[in-house]
Structure 1
Amino acid sequence: MKRTVITVDGNGMLSIPSNLQDLWMSEGELVDMLHVTAMKLHAVIRSIYKDGLLTVSEVQQKQETSNGIWQTLY
């Protein structure tokens, strides 16, 4: 699966890819970009699902890494 990510440079400037359909980020990438803990990220994601703002099927998928480990992408 081809995917793109949002990046932040040293000056805090966001680089958002033009093809948003391929925009999928791992937990680690989101934690690094947002400067939050994994626990905080999970709490926010659960809250979004609970409030019905987004559904799991819309914004979450699994991907197998090259070493056979599955990661969740958002």
Structure 2
Amino acid sequence: MTMERGIITITENGAVAMPTAPVWMTQQEMSDAFNVFGCHIRKAVHAIYKNGELLESETKRYIKQDNGINYDVYSLEMVIAVSFKLRGRESMAFRRFIMGRLTMNNRQPVNLFFSLSPSRGKRAGN
């Protein structure tokens, strides 16, 4: 069974192509989009999970294809979080793209796709 998923691409000029399908990307696809070595993506993903910034159960899926190929994919929320851990030109272009989308029209409410679960977002002792 295959999962319909979109892959973000970023050109050398910094143009971001956002797919219409839900974004789920492999670490290699993130590495290609942000033009960094895979070790930088792995390190960022590991740090995000270790620090409890995102939950693995919400942002990671294991895909099994009919042809026997299996791999992990990560949600748009993880792709955005990873982009903030990197310093490359493509990650900066992506962050500008995301911020531009969020501030496009200040009069209309923005759907961020994200929600905090009750266990996240609370300070210790609250």
Which amino acid is the alignment partner of residue 71 of structure 1? Y
What's the TM-score once normalised by structure 2's chain length?
Answer: 0.52
In the other structure, the counterpart of 2:32 is 32
Q: CA deviation at 1:14?
A: 0.3
Which amino acid is the alignment partner of residue 2 of structure 1? E
What pairs with 1:1-74 in structure 2 (closer than 5 Å)? 1-18=3-20, 22-74=22-74
Asked if the contact 2:49–2:56 (Cα under 8 Å) also holds between the matched residues in 1, the reply is: yes
Which amino acid is the alignment partner of residue 6 of structure 2? T
Q: Which string of whole-angstrom CA distances, capped at 9 and with x for unpartnered residues, describes residues 10-68 of structure 1? A: 4220012355xx21011221110111111111111010011111010111011123531
Asked if the contact 2:10–2:34 (Cα under 8 Å) also holds between the matched residues in 1, the reply is: no
% same residue: 32
Over aligned residue pairs, what C-alpha RMSD do you find? 1.6
What's the TM-score once normalised by structure 1's chain length?
Answer: 0.83
SS of the residue corresponding to residue 24 of structure 2 reads coil
CA distance in 1, matches of 2:64, 2:27: 14
Which amino acid is the alignment partner of residue 27 of structure 2? E
Alignment gaps of 5+ in structure 1: none
SS of the residue corresponding to residue 36 of structure 2 reads coil
